[in-house]
Amino acid sequence: MQASKRAGKVISLALLVTENGERLTVQMLRGRFEKARRLAAEAAEAAGSNDMATDIKNFQFRDLRAKAGSDKAEATGSMIEAQKLLGHTSPSTTEIYVRHRRGALVKPTR
């Protein structure tokens, strides 16, 4: 891995880049997100899962921050850990972000 990094040349100093090495702008990221959300909703509808399709259509990119806080609170059992992760000064703000999941949390099968 390190050898391949040394062999390559720097294409861009941007953190997020396209397949061509161009800077990924906010508008480009938004367009890709919208396309992925649309395709996922269409796939859910084709599978006959209209409730899932509705949830996908309503999903917003900012929901990922709340999910990260919810995952941390659930994994550690501590709202304080979620508060630290999200950078909140007030526990009441964290409680707004942390969501309770629908259904039980299960582990995947092998």
Q: Could you read off the pLDDT of 35-74 as tens digits, one per residue?
A: 999 999 999 999 999 999 999 999 887 767 888 888 888 8
Crossing angle for the helix pair 63-76 and 79-86, nearest 10 degrees? 150
Q: What three-state secondary structure class fits 56?
A: helix
Top-confidence residue, 106 or 75 = 75
The DSSP secondary-structure symbol of 109 reads: P
pTM, 2 dp: 0.52
Q: Could you read off the pLDDT of 68-96 as tens digits, one per residue?
A: 888 888 888 888 999 999 899 998 888 88
Dist. CA 4–CA 9, nearest whole Å: 10
